[in-house]
Structure 1
Amino acid sequence: MENSQSKAAYLLLEDGTLFQGKALGKIGTSAGEICFNTGMTGYQEIYTDPSYFGQVIVNTTSHIGNYGIKLGDEEESSSVKIKGMVCNAFAETYSRITADGSLQEYFEKAGIVGISDVDTRQIVRHVRNAGVMNCIISSEISDPEALKEELSKCPSMEGLELSSIVSTKEPYFFGDESAELKLAVLDLGCKTNILRNFSDRGCYMKVFNAKADAHEMIAWNPDGFFISNGPGDPGVMDYAVDTVNALLETGKPLFGICLGHQILSRACGIGTYKMHNGHRGLNHPVKNLVTGKSEITSQNHGFAVSADEAEKVSDSVEITHLNLNDKTVEGIRLKGKPAFSVQYHPEAAPGPHDSRYLFDDFVAMMKA
């Protein structure tokens, strides 16, 4: 097999900005929405997170691949979900004794195209200022015009429904069947570590397809409902909004994370919008307005809930969490109903564990 890093690779952004570097992963061509993650660890969890489906990730930390990959424990789904990867220094060799292999081999097997030896600081500054846009990576095509033509075929993330693509095709169970609580999960692109956190707290879960009928979920007679994270534009997911509205009618506890937060917000009449470049990293400060305490959070989202529209329905919905960097809405709870959601990732794989109290709060709500 040809060593991919001996080949040149090109990264072309939608606005015409072109970068040249070295190929990594599979030799090929791939396009998607470019976005950057500032986390210094946990690259494998990022690549397997279904929320990144359709996106090309720029890892801002200098070295990627240096601790290899580990199957199972560090995978957030059954396959790599990103469309491509951009980094500065890419390590084909790794130092971790418990690793199952190299990131290069992992990407080759998954068919992931990437580029290294580019100035990721320059790329991030450009995307941060210009806003997220589509891009294309190729280790096959060097002609800018040909790259531009290929890139034009890539759809915009705005208006794109992706949850039904990454969701489980058939319902499955997770956790101990003899657990105290039953939890029905609407899988819009759920991370495995979310399920682990519920299982650790005594929940037995049935995970349903994104487009499952609400009556099917209710018929399982769970103690509560969970609406998961996932990819795509929440503004075009009316089917999920309808499901959540039906689940709320049961009066049983409901909890949403990330895309689940946006869908619950829409079910309450609060709109969503595409952010300039989103939040993706492990160190985003969030204030809990209920307790007055702040927490460092793991985040990954390109859409957000409208604060203005949330204020308009303040008689039925309370904003519970705010982002301390840009004041975006990070959490809500319904007044008079046992339902709440957060924009960030309390399961944090990777990231800090400041927010895991939310799982405890929801489990206590189900027990009550």
Structure 2
Amino acid sequence: MQLCKYYPVANDRMGIIWTLSSIENVCVIEFGPAGTTHYALEGIGSLNGNDRAKIYSTHMDQGDVTFGKYDRLEKAIVEIDVNINPKYIFVMASSISSIIGADIESVCDNLKSSINAKLIPITTGGLKDDYNVGVEYMLNTLVKEITKDTDERNINKYNIIGANIDKYNFLSDIEEVKRIMKDLFNKEVNTIFTCDSTVEDIENAAKVSLNIVVRKEGLKAAKYMKEKYNIPYVYSSLYGLTNMTNLIKKIENIDGYELNNDNYKKEVDIVRSHIISLKRRFYFYEGNKKCAIFGDYDTVVGLKCLLEELGLEVDRSEVLYRDDNDEYLISGCSEIDRMKYLKNNELLGLFGDGPCLDMKHNSKLDLQVSNPNLDKVNIYPFTPFVGFRGILNIIEKIMNIKL
């Protein structure tokens, strides 16, 4: 067991709750102590996201644990179905009810004939995997259980998959993706999985011509929609000029997606001119150009590409949960490992989560790019880190470093 001064890595149960919490008209019942559900809901506030779902706890007592009774859960499902009348009720086990082997699937199966809502059981209890696994599981579950089959396709509509509230800068990053798609392809977003969506948005997610996957946890959902509805998808990092040009080329190859070359050239030319300005400023700089990045997988991979594109040295790039898919990244390290690294290394820039920025360190630029979040409030949705304007935003912050 690792010692933690700040936060342990959130488990898959938390990833599921975060994914569902921003969907309006969703009901979630957790079979477990009220305190654990309350803690999960309190954490949503630190993510700068809106809690739009209705999330309930059955609570538990010693009798429920000792004898494995489901009376509370069954009554809670019936009560919510009658009084709230939701289309869908997600039923999940907490860590404690998972330990005693709560059979959530059987409870849902026994009640489905007497309940108006569709019951969707979630069996994980957060005892095995990190939150990214829960996000992946829930995105895939949503398209399987809620998205409706349809022959209707709108060539002018697309979905964004993976823009959840657990992504630190999701508000601004989503706006930048929407702006790019409008300015370069004249397309409008249909459904965002799952930031500020409704159940109806998820139901109608198949009425599109493209899925844009913005994090790898959304790939399973996109692949399922490709197989079932024949909706093409693209997945690429959204950080940096090279990654963005690669993404634009992928989208341009989709039928019905014609690129506005004039607008595209303007975007690229502006970014290139500022990249040249930054490189010119650092050309004769003999000081330390080392940077460190700590965050979720796609943020770390993307920022690493961007910073190297700007001529800076990425000395450490660490994913803050277990991930063995990239041999060039560090993952699964402890807080103490990060504390030691930050204490012993002088950096030009530290790009990390709230705890990393709070640790003792020596850097000329501190920029929060990932959660957990300690005290930052993000309400202005036009300061992206991704896309063309995201590149300019980060270049501006680096250019303002006092060398």
Output the TM-score relative to the length of structure 1: 0.33
- Give the strand-richer structure, 1 or 2: 1
Rg: which structure is higher? 2
Q: TM-score, normalised by structure 2?
A: 0.31
The structure with the greater share of residues assigned to helix is 2
Greater relative CO (CA pairs within 8 A, separation 6+): 2
